[in-house]
Amino acid sequence: MTDPSTPDLSTPDVTTQGTDDGSRPHPHLRVQQDGPVLTVTLDNTARRNAQLPSLWLALAEVAQGLDASVRVVVLRAEGPSFSAGLDLSVVAGDPAKAPQGEPDLFEIAGRGVEEAADVIAGFQRGFTAWAEAEAVVVAAVQGHAIGAGFQLALAADLRVVADDVQLAMRETSLGLVPDLGGTQPLVSLVGPSRALELCATGRFVGAQEAVAAGLANVAVPRDELEATTADLVAALLAAPEAALRALKPLLRSAVSADRETQLRAERETQAVLLRGLGEARATGRR
């Protein structure tokens, strides 16, 4: 039974379904599948794609419900900024101005660490589920990607950034910490020392530094962001499908697995792929 004191965190109504414009699992989110490519677009341009907790739940649903035919996901955003991070109205402390249906994060925290952590775990899925998806996830990032916006970019496997990109982890500046799955990819990309500096200062990282530090795969002029992303998607689709699907979990596990576990994962993955290739050759000969 629903606890009436619990905010309704269900995903807002789908406002369009199956149109040419794709589906809309959240008022600020558009999802469109074109063959093996799923494009997920943040489109609350007026608020610089600031993110509400309900958006995180909608992102989790999309990531966890990917069709098996999807091989590449593009995470992108309309407007000048990829995302200004958490919609600050939910922490403004003024219930009158709080968006309807969104949780009061302070009230949730007041219920105790365990209960609050459970709620946040649901929010985290909107970020972490992309790493677990079989499809390769590419973020195309322009303008500001702040806080939750930066963490969403970090949730992708690859990042193409525009030359106007401004990445910043601002949670610490608000008296908080990054809690949407961003700490692990950040540290694995730039190391603990640079990660601490970026989070503690909240400073902006531009395109050149992002590429040099490994936060972005490539930086391109703003008007080439879409075309470069499309080229990268085409290159990913050109890779043999089974090998690419096996590659992502193998490389991700290399970050944290011990050497023996990783070696086993390599050889077992290879054995499966070799068997598949062998069967294909045999079938081809027949």
Beta carbon of residue 11, minimum distance to ligand CAA (angstroms, whole number): 19
Which residue is closest to ligand CAA by CB?
A: 147
146 binds ligand CAA (CB under 6 A): yes
Binding mask 35-54 for ligand CAA (x = CB under 6 A): ------------xx-x----
**Distance of closest approach, residue 31 Cβ to ligand CAA, in angstroms:** 22
Residue with tokens 């402390």: 93
Render the burial of 192-228: b for 16+ CB within 10 Å, e for the rest. Answer: eebbeebbeeeeebebebbbebebbbebbeeeebbeb
How many chain residues interact with ligand CAA (CB under 6 A)? 21
CA distances to 9, 13, 82, 88, 121 from 168, rounded to whole Å, are 27, 31, 12, 15, 23
Angle between helices 148-155 and 113-132 (to 10 degrees): 40
Least Cβ distance, residue 173 to ligand CAA (angstroms): 7
Q: Near ligand CAA by CB under 6 A, which window of 10-18, 58-66, 82-90, 229-237?
A: 82-90
For the chain, the helix, strand and coil percentages under 3-state DSSP, each to the nearest 5: 50, 15, 35
The DSSP secondary structure of 237-252, one letter per residue, reads HHS-HHHHHHHHHHHH
Q: Looking at 8, 15, 34, 88, which residue binds ligand CAA (CB under 6 A)?
A: 88
Query: Out of 53, 56, 87, 138, which residue is the one contacting ligand CAA (CB under 6 A)?
Result: 87
Listed residue (84, 67, 53, 86) closest to 22, CA to CA: 67
Span near ligand CAA by CB under 6 A; candidates 29-37, 61-69, 175-183, 266-274: 175-183
Contact range with ligand CAA by CB under 6 A, out of 23-31, 140-148, 188-196, 273-281: 140-148
* Among 52, 59, 73, 86, interactor with ligand CAA by CB under 6 A: 86
CB-CB neighbours of 258 under 10 Å: 8
Residues 6+ apart with CB under 8 A from 124: 56, 179, 180, 181
- Pick one of 61, 102, 157, 171: the residue that binds ligand CAA (CB under 6 A): 171
Integer Cα distance of 182 and 193 in angstroms:
15
Which of 176, 235, 251, 271 forms a contact with ligand CAA (CB under 6 A)? 176
Residue 20's CB is within 10 A of a number of other CB atoms, namely 6
The region of 85-93, 225-233, 248-256, 274-282 touching ligand CAA under the rule CB under 6 A is 85-93
CA distance 27 to 55: 8
Q: Which is nearer to ligand CAA, 22 or 166 (CB)?
A: 166
Does 61 participate in binding ligand CAA (rule CB under 6 A)? Answer: no
91: which DSSP letter? G
**Is residue 102 close enough to count as binding ligand CAA by CB under 6 A?**
no
Q: Could you say which residues in the range 177-206 bind ligand CAA, by CB under 6 A?
A: 179-180
Residue numbers at the binding site for ligand CAA (CB under 6 A): 47-48, 50, 80-81, 84-89, 144, 146-148, 170-171, 174, 176, 179-180
